[in-house]
Amino acid sequence: MTREEIVDAIKDIIRTIAPDEELSGLKSDVRLREQIALDSMDFLDIVMELRKRYGVQVPEEDYKELATLDGCVAYLHPRLKDRPAKVGV
């Protein structure tokens, strides 16, 4: 997956979890929870969806790496660079 595909995949997962949130104006370097209404359970759902869709295990100590879109890309790109995108799964 490319970096852009990872951003699209994260947004798609967020849309599944929080369908009423507007994601078009998300800033890549600002914490997601400061931009949209995500509680801790929503965040865990994102982590679980990453595991379900892409087989990525995110240990609890790495959760902080997924705070922003930029952080998600930096963390996930090495783990997903050889996998196809699965947006809308």
> Domain spans of the chain?
3-80
Whether residue 86 is predicted with pLDDT greater than 70 in this model: the reply is no
Token output for 34: 């400061």
Whether residue 89 is predicted with pLDDT greater than 60 in this model: the reply is no
Cβ–Cβ < 8 Å for 80, 6: yes
C-alpha gyration radius of the chain: 12
Q: How confident is the model over 24-32, as a mean pLDDT? A: 94
Q: What does CATH list as the number for 3-80?
A: 1.10.1200.10
Query: What whole-number distance in Å separates Cα of residue 27 and Cα of residue 52?
Result: 26
Q: How confident is the model over 60-76, as a mean pLDDT? A: 95
Q: How confident is the model over 4-13, as a mean pLDDT? A: 94
Nearest 5°: the CA angle 6, 8, 14 is 105
pLDDT for the residue numbered 87: 56
